[in-house]
Chain A
Amino acid sequence: MTDKSQDLSRWVEKRLPIVSSFRREYVDFAMPKNLNYLWNFGAFATISLGMLLLSGIFLALNYSPTVSDAFSSIETMDRQVASGWLVRSIHMGGVSMLFAALYVHVARGLYYGSYKAPRELIWLTGLGLLLMVMITAFAGYILPWGQMSYWGATVVVNAFNTVPLIGKALTSWLMGGEGLGNAALHRIYVLHFLTAFSIIGVVALHIATLHVAGSNNPTGIDPESSDETVPFHPYYTSKDGLGLCFFLIVYAVIVFFAPDFLTLAENYVQANPLVTPQDITPEWYFAPFYAILRAVPSKLGGLILATGSIGVLFAVPWLDKSPVRSAKSRPLLRPALLMLFFSFMALGFAGMHPPAGGWLWLSRVAVFYWYLYFLILLPLQSRGETASSLGFAKEGRE
């Protein structure tokens, strides 16, 4: 019996080495042994993404993408479909959990220099994923066809229209010519699905590039010998698993005890093209970019700065010329980087308040600092800095 099953696995192995590849990449894979819990957030994002895709399929079974039925189909899901409220709560909570995990994940990459050679492609595919997640989340937010869905979509579509040359054509392709109507809603539904599942493919690329260079670590110095690494299983499966328990506890609290904590009551009013709600506030994960959009007293300028705030991230591997990876070994950069994280959070809070007085000025200062950091501080810092001996010595050896 065992002989036979061994023969079978050898037969499969020769034709499709899936078992040995899995063993090589996820069981025996050499990981630096000094990773801290910030390295859990990639796994968190993967799990949230999985939950979103799973719950999304089941929501799609009950959703009708038409202007007349979209809102009521969501209400039916919440009130009548068996366990529908729970599936929808898992989906909505999952978005917040995914964005939270992604923002920490990106911040960790910035802090420990995970974007530097040879990991530039991990950084670029990761930012591509972030953009795809944003597009998917935005398209998904329109689907319930509530007041916030409708007016959020209106605002973004009009902002898109201001893009020179391509703006008008792109919006016309997306909307099917007749404004925010049935054609647009149907396309947005398809877009939501299409980008959501395309994300899986890009995640595969992201992980494939990660497995070429291996994980970075808090010191930013690549492990040299097998003394400095441990196999992925059981060391990081259990570390990820423990972190995941806490992550899922937070997720479960949102799903079961506060399903409406992160959403706006206004979106439970059906879309009305004749009345704009009094406070338009985006979901928290878009608040920083919304704040940038409003901080600039120019239509096109706000759009450029808001999209550019992510755009500069793509250039980071080339803006940062220092050979030292980890901010732990860069005493000049470290406080500047922490300030950057604070300004992102400040933008988030400013985006959820009316753009007046202190909040407006706070968002202006924060945007200014965002660009100051990436365009001036980061490129110049490497010149003046004497890296702490640890990081520098290692890089010198190479």
Chain B
Amino acid sequence: MTQDDAPPSSSQQGLEEENHPRRRDVLATVTLGMGCAGACALAYPFLNSLNGTQSSRIGEDDTVEVDCSKLSPGQQLVVTWRGWPVFVQRRTPEMLASLRVPELAHRLRDPESKMHQQPQDAINWHRSVVPEIGVLIGICTHLGCVPSFDAPSSGDRSGKYACPCHGSQFDIAGRAYKDAPAPYNLPVPPVTIISDQHLLIGKSKGDPDFDIATIQQI
């Protein structure tokens, strides 16, 4: 500092200054660095505010209770959980049998549910807590449309899901077919069976630590 501030009274001092031209560069660089660090710190609250209210963090109850007493075998009803459409289906024996056909596995992308798209207690052949009731988040893993439910009929006794946007196909347990664009199985939300006719979406008894935000894709 002293050298920089002192007037170059003698030529020798001027020469010395020329030999140490870096001193001010260091100051300028440090100042610039601190300024950038400050700008980043300032940017944090602004960008963070874009995350919105984060309602899950403030302990709101976001579970949904579903009464499926009026649901006949082969039907599905659609409820809303966290703003997503959730399909609740009651499966017929024919639908369940179609899930276990050995040839089917070759046509599916992930027949064993290895991808993290469901809670632990839905990693099974029927992708649900109990075989008779299936619960799926109805958002196509391709580009987010809602697949339509092709209910079992006399022609196709197993039923399936078909996405109207780009033709993705899923079996009745939400497993994606290979020859269609959707890359992953339909997500399964955390489900707890309360009684024969009631279930709770949003909390999983078999996998209490499950967080829907951690799955592969919704």
Which of these, B44, B48, B58, contacts A80 with CB under 8 Å? B58
Proximity string of chain A (150-181) to chain B, C-beta cutoff 8 Å, 1 when within and 0 when not: 00000000000000000000000000000000
Contact with B along A37-70 (1 / 0, CB 8 A): 0000000000000000011001001100000000
Tell whether, in the assembled complex, residue B51 and residue A82 are in contact, meaning their CB atoms are under 8 Å apart.
yes
Chain B contact-residue range equals 10 to 19
Chain B residue at minimum C-beta to C-beta distance from A88: B49
B32-75: CB near A (< 8 Å → 1, else 0) gives 00000000000011101111111100100000000000000000
The answer to whether B53 touches A76, judged by C-beta atoms less than 8 angstroms apart, is yes
> What's the Cα separation between A61 and B51 when bound, in Å?
11
- Once the chains bind, are B46 and A80 in contact (CB under 8 Å)? no
| A360 at interface, CB cutoff 8 A | no
Min distance, Cβ B18 to any Cβ of chain A, angstroms: 18
Could you say which residues of chain B place their CB within 8 Å of the CB of A62?
49, 52
Residue of B nearest to A77 (CB): B49
CB distance from B38 to the nearest CB of A (A): 9
**Which of chain B's residues has its CB closest to A62's CB?**
B49
Interface of B is mostly: helix
Please determine whether B44 and A82 come into contact, CB atoms closer than 8 angstroms: no
How far is A55 from B49 in the complex, measured between Cα atoms in Å? Answer: 10
| Interface-centre pick from B31, B48, B58 (highest chain A CB count, 10 A) | B48
Contact status A84-B49, CB under 8 Å: yes
Interface size of A in residues (CB-CB distance below 8 Å): 15
Contacts of A241 in B (CB 8 A): 31
Q: Which of chain A's residues has its CB closest to B44's CB? A: A83
**CB atoms of A54 and B46 under 8 A apart:** yes
CB distance from A1 to the nearest CB of B (A): 22
Q: Is A338 positioned at the interface, with any CB of B under 8 Å from its CB?
A: no
A80 and B54 in contact, given A86-B45, A87-B45, A90-B45 (Cβ under 8 angstroms): yes
The complex places the Cα of A76 from the Cα of B60 at a distance, in Å, of 14
A82 touches B54 (CB 8 A): yes
Q: Are A81 and B53 in contact (CB under 8 A)?
A: yes
B47, chain A: closest CB distance, angstroms = 8
Binding site for A on B (CB under 8 A): 31, 44-46, 48-55, 58
Q: Could you give 18 example pairs across A and B, Cβ below 8 Å?
A: A54-B46, A55-B46, A61-B49, A62-B52, A76-B53, A81-B51, A81-B52, A82-B49, A82-B51, A82-B54, A83-B44, A83-B45, A83-B46, A84-B49, A86-B45, A87-B45, A87-B46, A241-B31
Closest 3 CB pairs of A and B: A83-B45, A83-B48, A80-B53
Interface residues of A (CB under 8 A from B): 54-55, 58, 61-62, 76, 80-84, 86-87, 90, 241
